[in-house]
Amino acid sequence: MSQALIEQLKAFKVIPVIQINHVEQAVPLAKVLVENGLPVAEVTFRTDAAADAIRAMREAYPQMCIGAGTVLNAAQVDKAKDAGAEFIVAPGLNPNTVRYCQQQGIPFVPGINNPSQIEQALELGLTFLKFFPAEASGGINMVKSLLAPYVDVSIMPTGGIGKANIRDYLAVDRVLCCGGTWMVAPKLIEAGDWDEIGRLVREAVALVQD
């Protein structure tokens, strides 16, 4: 992971984790994010529309920082990279996927939630990691405990993070940013409620930038 990309994600503080079911939703959603001060997205490969959604967002808003999430294998890495993803995020740590991303020259952020996985990541040369599922894995206390012995590691907690707790996570040293879905909830995207998404995005930006 390049320092420039890490600094970019750190500046955003909150990374919208997006599930897009229909590619037609991609550009309107990207527009809302860009116009309301959060030009970044992690588009999850939980749906068949993911790669096309990334491609549509990339073409419409080249300035956006766009990653692919829930990437589980090399085939999905190829699809994401071809579509224009700048980085890859996974729920877990698969050494095969790590090595494949390294061969392809695309930054990879694996999911970890225990010391053994952190040591595996370090062995593979990775120091920026996703703590997932954050709340279910012990939340802020677990984050502090995990970071203490690993002074080179910084993390992006994701899972169960929302308006009520994101500032507490960000207050922890070496928590650089958090993934969140509350401002881009699937039901709002499905309903095409771009005004409400815009309001929630503005609120999220204000919350983390205070």
Residue 28: which of 205, 124, 36 has the closest Cα? 36
The type of residue at 5 is L
Note if 42 is an active site residue: yes
Q: Where are the alpha helices (DSSP H) in the chain?
A: 3-12, 26-35, 50-60, 74-83, 95-104, 115-123, 139-147, 166-170, 186-191, 194-209
Cβ atoms of 154 and 146 closer than 8 Å: no
Whole-number Å distance between alpha carbons of 112 and 27? 31
CA trace torsion 92, 97, 99, 104 (10° rounding): -130
Cβ atoms of 133 and 153 closer than 8 Å: no
Catalytic residue among 7, 13, 42, 196: 42
Helix axes 50-60, 74-83, angle to 10 degrees: 20
Catalytic residue among 13, 79, 81, 130: 130
Note if 24 is an active site residue: no
Q: Enumerate the active-site residues.
A: 42, 130
